[in-house]
Each structure stands twice: as C-alpha cells, then as structure tokens.
Amino acid sequence: MNIISQATAFGGMQGVFSDGSEACKCEMTFAVFVPPKAITEPCPVLWYLSGLTCTHANVMEKGEYRRMAAELGLIIVCPDTSPRGNDVPDELTNWQMGKGAGFYLDATEEPWAENYQMYTYITEELPALIGKQFRADMSRQGIFGHSMGGHGALTIALRNPDRFKSCSAFAPIVEPSTADWSAPAFEKYLGSDRAAWRKYDAVALVSDGARFPEFLIDQGEADGFLENGLRPWLFEEAVKGTDIKLTLRLHQRYDHSYYFISTFMDGHLKWHAERLG
C-alpha cells in the first residue's frame, strides 16, 4: 500500500492511498479517515461509494464527514469509482461509461471485462486490505453512497446482508436497468441478456427475494435527475409487502450536488453509528 498523502483532522487521520489491484488490473486510489478512537481500539467501518464522474476525492473534499466521524468513532473508506490508467478502456466523450462510471459491477463484455471488476474490488479485495492495514473492526461494517454510489450501496447490501449492518443512500439510482443514464452502460458492460443485469439492480434484487433489514434514503426534490435517472418511488414500491423497512425522505429545493449531501451527512453518520454499535 502506497501513501499518497496524510493529514490530521479532528484528532484523526485523513489519508489517501493506492495499491495494485488484481481485480481491476491497475493501481487503485482510495481515501480512508481513521478517527482518534482507533488509537486505542478497533472501530467500525463505513464505506462511501461516489457517483458518476467522481473519484475518491469528491466526498473527501466536499462531504464534510470528518468532524462527526471522529466524534462517533467511525472509519470512513472512500474508494474510486472505476479503474484508472492509460491502458484502461474508456469512452472519452461519454460521462456515463468507462472511467468514473464503473457502476460497481463486474463487467463480462469486452473490452471492459479485463479491468472493470468493481464489485469484486469493493466487496473482496479492498476490504481485505482495509482489515489488514487499519485498526478496523470488520465485523461491524456499513455502506452508503450517492447517485451511482447509492445504487452500489443498495445492491451490495442486498447481496451481502450478513456482512453489512447498515445501508443508506443519497439520491440513488434504484433501478439502473431501466434508467436512461445507466441502461446503455449496463448493456456494454454486461451484454444484451437483461437477466444478467438483475443482480446489480436494487428493485430487481428485492423482487427476486433479496432482503436487508432497513434502508435510509434522502432525495432532493429539485434534483434534475429525479424523474429519468433516480426514481426512488420505484424502490419504495418494491419493498412494500416485504419485511424491509425503508425511510425515504424528500427535501424541497435540494438538488443533486454535494451541498445536498453535506447538509444531511451528519444525520447519515449518526444513523449508521446507531446500527454499528
């Protein structure tokens, strides 16, 4: 593991690191905030997955999580959103595909399959590294994210209910298989057989029987992507009649930006801390 930068914040450590990824066949960068409590005891881990066009840096620089994470004793891990490098396939003029748009899935189609193994990277490879390199209690993990990262958080939690104790999202893409800005990418990554898409689609996973105890979703009503990309009401409808508890909060005047995310970040961190113990 390579140290790119380290700085003290609220008595803890904000670091940026990189490591060679076997899953993604490239050097992957990620950020980790370690609270001061980790000096004396292992702390629970909360994963934050970012959205389209983002890197690890967006939430690190604009998410305003460190003060509350330090107070609550949470390790915050912020992975990148896709593989990177000159040899990694990309669509330079398409922000919804390629670098910055990994959708937290394992691609099966060429040329994407060689590098775009983000599901394996997030659920297997990076957790092993975090558990080894930091004073992390890997028996207490939560996950949340924004937009594409909210999609990743919901689907990863639904597929790994024994690993994660909490899951929330800011403006998630709840049904990417039918959304205008994600379905084309799914076809390129996973092929034309839509049955293969279902394990990366939160609404489909619930319909197919996947379960997770509860979710918290915050959504701005002034979000320009609400109607065609996000559509949280589809997830609300999907969980009806199941034992999944959903708290869906709609907020007037809030958009898709980090002004929205930073406003409700403290509330999400407290919500996760209650469930992580």
pLDDT tens digit string along 84-120?
A: 999 999 999 999 999 999 999 999 999 999 999 999 9
Q: What is the DSSP string of 79-135?
A: E-SS--STTS---TT-TTSBTTB-TTSB--STTTTTT-BHHHIIIIIHHHHHHHHS-
Instruction: Identify the pLDDT of residue 137.
Output: 98
CA angle, residues 156, 160, 165, in degrees to nearest 5: 95
The single residue listed with the structure tokens 């409808």 is 237
Catalytic residue among 82, 223, 268, 272: 223
Strands in the chain per DSSP E:
2-9, 12-21, 26-34, 43-49, 75-79, 136-146, 164-170, 214-220, 245-251
Q: What are the structure tokens assigned to 189, written together? A: 């990554």
Q: What does the pLDDT read at residue 47? A: 98
Which one of the listed residues 151, 256, 268, 272 is annotated catalytic? 256
Statement: residue 242 has pLDDT above 90: yes
Q: Rounded to an integer, what distance in angstroms lies between the CA atom of residue 196 and that of residue 95? A: 23
Question: What is the mean predicted confidence (pLDDT) over 159-172?
Answer: 98
Average of per-residue pLDDT across 161-180: 97
What is the per-residue pLDDT for 183?
A: 96
Q: With a cut of 90, say whether residue 224 has pLDDT above it.
A: yes
- In this structure, how many other beta carbons lie within 10 angstroms of the beta carbon of residue 23? 20
Residue 257 has pLDDT above 90, yes or no: yes
**CA atoms of 42 and 135, how far apart (whole Å):** 5
Q: Could you give the CA distance from residue 108 to residue 115 in angstroms, rounded to a whole number? A: 10
Q: What is the three-class DSSP state of 179?
A: coil
Residue 181 has pLDDT above 90, yes or no: no
> Which of 50, 82, 147, 168 does the annotation list as catalytic?
147
User: Residue 269: CA atoms inside 13 Å, Cβ hemisphere, count?
Assistant: 21
Q: Which two tokens stand for residue 103?
A: 């959708």
Task: Kindly report the number of other CB atoms within 10 A of residue 245's CB atom.
Answer: 11
As a whole number of angstroms, the distance between CA 228 and CA 214 comes to 25
pLDDT band at 198 (very low <50, low <70, confident <90, very high): very high
The token pair at 128 is: 């092993």
Query: How confident is residue 63, by pLDDT bands cut at 50, 70 and 90?
Result: very high
Mean pLDDT, the chain, integer:
97
User: Domains of the chain by range and CATH?
Assistant: 2-276 (3.40.50.1820)
Q: How confident is the model at residue 40 (pLDDT cuts 50, 70, 90)?
A: very high
Q: Give 266: exposed, middle or buried? Use CB within 10 Å, 0-12, 13-18, 19+.
A: middle
Output the pLDDT for position 233: 98
- For position 199, what pLDDT does the model report? 98
Catalytic residue list contains 147: yes
Across-strand partners of 7? 14
Q: Is the pLDDT of residue 76 over 90?
A: yes
